[in-house]
Amino acid sequence: GSVAFVGAISALLAANFITSGIALQAQASIPIKSLKPALIFLTGLFLYDIYFVFLSPGGVMESVATSLEGPVKLLSPRAAAATAPGQYPFSILGLGDIVVPGLFVGLLKRIDEGVDGLGEKNTFFAAGMTGYGVGLLLTFLANILMHRGQPALLYIVPSLIAAALGTAAVTGRWEEVWGFNGEEAEEGMEGA
């Protein structure tokens, strides 16, 4: 009994470790350079996630996520009391729910570095991390309250966008942030 339990936990931790490594590598390999395409990308994946969880015949996303094995998702065991008989015993966070928001938060970090007067403050990065945390919290609360899988991007994307655009409005940096171009900022830093 206990040997099997330790083996299962070890396998779960190893799979989550590999998935985390893939997520970090993806984020380092795919920089997003400006806000406009980032918002289009996030919005598109937001709609995609909603469609394939709630509107597709048979809830395609949940059945794929629970049957697909491999380092494509983070798994967190559900409490026995929160798991109905025959229900998948894990909460799932797919790679897309990690990588895509991570790309956006990475852009916010580059905005902090590239917009004059922000530099070391990490204003947009902190807002993005907070937005991501709030989105994750809402996702897990919805899982608990509705007793079924939820499209994480349904909660994460609005939280991220509200955090980024709200911060731009509050700091009075809307024009600079909206017009930010990471390629130009990198060229300016290299020339300095």
Token duo for residue 38: 């980032």
Which one of 96, 97, 150, 182 is the catalytic residue? 97
- Give dist(CA 55, CA 62) in Å, integer: 12
CA contacts within 13 A on the Cβ side of 33? 7
Which one of 39, 49, 105, 106 is the catalytic residue? 49
Q: Active-site residue 49, yes or no?
A: yes
Asked if 73 and 95 count as a contact pair (C-beta separation under 8 A), the reply is yes
What does DSSP say about strands 90-94 and 73-77: parallel, antiparallel, or unpaired?
A: antiparallel
- Give dist(CA 151, CA 92) in Å, integer: 10
Q: Active-site residue 116, yes or no?
A: no
Asked if 119 and 104 count as a contact pair (C-beta separation under 8 A), the reply is no
Which residues participate in catalysis according to the annotation?
Answer: 49, 97
